[in-house]
Amino acid sequence: MTYGLRNQPKPQAVLANCQDGARCVILAASQTNKLEIPKVPYIKQARREAILSGAKPREAGELNFAITVLVDNYLADKGEIRYAHINEVIGALECAKLELYRRVAVPYEDKKIAESGDVYFSNKPLKPPNNS
């Protein structure tokens, strides 16, 4: 099986101990013992290598890179690209997004509304006019 646009052997994802004792997925070297790091124009080569070696992403682009590598390896391990495999990935990403929103964003927004007041009034009952 080949990996990427250059028809090179697909690197294998490996579960490893990473920084801070966390477990993470990294790419192991191919049979030639040379791993080509995917080219991402907005992430410096040193940071790509660090992330693939287990460093935590520091910014949104790096997080995107780490997720992309994980998803790409998942799809590559499935063999051929099929709608069902793409659907599995999109479903997992969507559910992860929704769970993040539900568990992290909503409580944060509720706290800020309590501190600063609401800006939405369209969902509040209308007060009857004062007919005095």
Per-residue pLDDT reduced to its tens digit, 26-66: 444 444 445 555 555 678 999 999 999 999 999 999 999 99
Q: Is residue 48 part of a domain?
A: yes
The count of domains in the chain is 1
Write down the pLDDT at residue 107: 98
Strand partners, 23: 17
Range of the domain at 25: 2-116
Write down the pLDDT at residue 1: 40
Burial of 51: CB neighbours in 10 Å, binned 0-12, 13-18, 19+ = buried
The 3-state DSSP class for residue 21 equals: helix
- 5 DSSP assignment: T
* Per-residue model confidence as pLDDT tens digits over 83-122: 999 999 999 999 999 999 999 999 999 999 999 999 988 8
Q: Is residue 127 part of a domain?
A: no
Q: Is the pLDDT of residue 75 over 50?
A: yes
Write down the pLDDT at residue 72: 95
Q: Is residue 125 part of a domain?
A: no
Write down the pLDDT at residue 127: 73
Write down the pLDDT at residue 12: 52
Q: Is residue 132 part of a domain?
A: no
Burial of 11: CB neighbours in 10 Å, binned 0-12, 13-18, 19+ = buried
Q: Is residue 67 part of a domain?
A: yes
How far, in Å, CA of 78 to CA of 56, rounded? 26
Q: Is residue 85 part of a domain?
A: yes
Q: Is residue 38 part of a domain?
A: yes
At 89, which helix (H) or strand (E)? Answer: helix 83-100
Q: Is residue 75 part of a domain?
A: yes
Write down the pLDDT at residue 130: 74
